[in-house]
Amino acid sequence: MKIVIPDDYQDMVHLLPSYALIRHHDVVRYRTPARDLDQLLERLEDADVVVAIRERVNFSRAVLSRLPRLRLIALVGRNARTIDFAACTELGIPVATGKSNSPVAPAELAIALMAASRRNIALEAERMRRGEWPCTLSHRLRGSTLGIFGLGAIGSLVAQAGRGLGMNVLVFGQEGSRARAATAGYEAAADKADLFERSDVLSLHVRLNAGTRGIVGAEDLARMKPTALLVNTARAELIAPGALVAALKAGRPGYAAVDVYEEEPVTGGNHPLLKMPNALCVPHLGWAEWDNFDLYFGEAFEQIVAFEKGEPLRLANPEVKARCRMG
């Protein structure tokens, strides 16, 4: 089979131990995103299988309908908002999903960004590389208030780490978050305004859906302290469009550390946050570490092997079974 991996940004998929599962096939990997729809279709037109890496490619009906040879999409992870599952079903294209959802790597990145931003690590490392000597004062974590917006699997690990560093954990979220906060002995914020007003570091861990899109607005950010840090390793769309840039310019909060953007990848330095000295930006690294990659890609590759053998798949669109493209 011809297997296409459209966006192997790290150029590392072929080095994963799990890659051995599909190495015997005709595998084509692309390091950079397609520049336009025509190039994307050119890259995918001969594919029997496409490995969809998270949400890097928009598999719309317009794209899927022009891929008559496509017999399987193997999804890296458990879900993707960029796949038109209804179109896949109508066109007879099964979408096989992963089964794991490890919170460890993204939680570690949130903590790393928190420490790096509060202690000016990236700024001072770059200055020293240029031959300068450190010249800023930073903020300690111990004794400060760590706000957690959404105490789910990732937020819980970040809260644990914050407590271990001597931070006071303040939680706000839905009923489940409040219940977990009570069990863990964390303080619950009275409301969202209380969370934003009191946090020295505020880390977002809310799942993106129709109800949470734009849940952080300009009025929330304006409540934050001028010394406070907002950390977003969840989804950029949780924050109202343009609100974070405007807030940083206004000085509340004073700092931001982000790993997610409305449109990815961000290339050529083309994002307003990259031009702001009080923003620490990294390129969606939350899940990008060796163990995580081998776990998620391994599950996708196992589904390709199952498909090849005619074995049952973990399907995101189980109703496709009556329409599957064969041979």
| CA 207 to centroid of chain Cα atoms | 11
CB 26 within 8 A of CB 48: no
> Which residue blocks in 34-186 are alpha helix, DSSP H?
37-44, 61-64, 85-90, 104-118, 121-129, 153-164, 175-184
3-state secondary structure 146-158: EEEECCCHHHHHH
Residues forming the active site = 235, 264, 284
Task: Please provide the DSSP assignment of 284-321 as one string.
Answer: S-TT-SHHHHHHHHHHHHHHHHHHHHT----BSSGGGG
- Written as six digits, the tokens of 326 are 């064969």
Residue 327 burial (C-beta neighbours within 10 Å; 0-12, 13-18, 19+)? exposed
Q: What share of the chain is helix, strand, coil (3-state, %, to 5)?
A: 40, 15, 45
Measured CA to CA, the distance from residue 176 to residue 150 in angstroms comes to 9
